[in-house]
Structure 1
Amino acid sequence: MQPSVTPDAISAVLSNPSFDSSSSDRPEIVVQVVDLKPIGNRYSFMANDGKMKVKAMFTASLTPEIISGNIQNLGLIRLQDFIVNDMSGKSKKYFLVTKCEAVASALDSEINLESKSEEEASEAKKQKLDHSPVNDAKTNASTGITLKPKQEFVAKSASQIISEQRGNAAPAART
């Protein structure tokens, strides 16, 4: 069985940020590392549990794990010790990961545990496009919206514009 993320782990942690790493009632939290990028001597990423994402940052002590390839973008990690902090000036929170272990290397894509299947999602998207305001305006003349064709755009150089302006200028008055 392929390892997977812990469903609703992020919302559980955000609702109870006082999880102590030494407490035995702390659930196992496995998240996917998404959008891993360096910031100075640290790395930031988005922690993904399939339903929710939250901004997160690895401490500088975990940088060797990332450089060695143990922790990868789109890989899974088990959070062993972390801190939930508030972003300055915002009402959002972020995780500061101080200790973790790699569970799986990079997966093919970002994990999405939405309740709809891909077929249902594509069908809903197709229906949404069929009933978009643009399509309704084309088919229903009673709305009062008419769409005009896009005008052609011709790119001109500065010298072309100046020569056209000189050709359109009135002759100079003679004295």
Structure 2
Amino acid sequence: MDALTFLLERRSCAKLEAPGPMGDELGAILRAGMQVPDFQCLRPWEFIVATGDGRDRLGEMLQQAAVAGGEPDEVIERALRMPLRAPVVIVVVSRFKPHPVVHKLEQQLSAGCAVMAMQMAALALGFSGIWRSGWPMFNRHLHTALGLGDEDQIVGFLYLGTAAAPPSPAREINVADHIREL
């Protein structure tokens, strides 16, 4: 498939199962995340990879963060199982690096680009994935449990594995509704 078709047909897949990318394949996915636009080459991101028992540890951190953050009981109960929805979970963090011209938002956008690049690399290798967000991204208790600083920000959780079911078809989008010219 050519690169443009690949981009135009990209879909997230929420139903993931083993196998997930490991070894050289996971390494290639992580390297793809490091090739994104990065003004002044700050490398303002960190990728925290959870596989195997690491997913259980991440689930425990999520559950503790949900309790500490006052989340409803159903969220607290579900938090423990969230990382088990895929064989690989990559927590993508924007690690803020003070700089005279590179704003914090630019660094966060770079980390966000890393999520997309890694998802596309996984797809190119025959895997599927989904970029998840939600309450854990903004829960400072989780940030602390992961060893993040006050200026750092989780930008997403990239769940990777093999598609258990085909992703849903793309919704029709009228491109003209989202464009204006000057």
Q: Shorter-chain TM-score: what band?
A: under 0.3
**Which is richer in helix?**
2
TM-score, normalisation: structure 1: 0.23
**Which is richer in strand?**
1
TM-score, normalisation: structure 2: 0.23
Structure with the larger RCO, 1 or 2 (CA within 8 Å, 6+ apart): 2
